[in-house]
Amino acid sequence: MSLQSHLGELAAKHKALEAQLADAITHPASSDEEIAELKRRKLKIKDEITRLEQNQAA
Domain locations in the chain as residue ranges: 3-57
User: Taking the model in full, what pTM does it have?
Assistant: 0.88
pLDDT tens track for 4-31 = 999 999 999 999 999 999 999 999 999 9
- SS3 string of the chain? CCHHHHHHHHHHHHHHHHHHHHHHHHCCCCCHHHHHHHHHHHHHHHHHHHHHHHHHHC
CA distance 38 to 25: 10
Cβ atoms of residues 32 and 14 within 8 Å? no
Q: How far is CA 28 from the centre of its chain?
A: 22
pLDDT tens track for 26-37 = 999 999 999 999
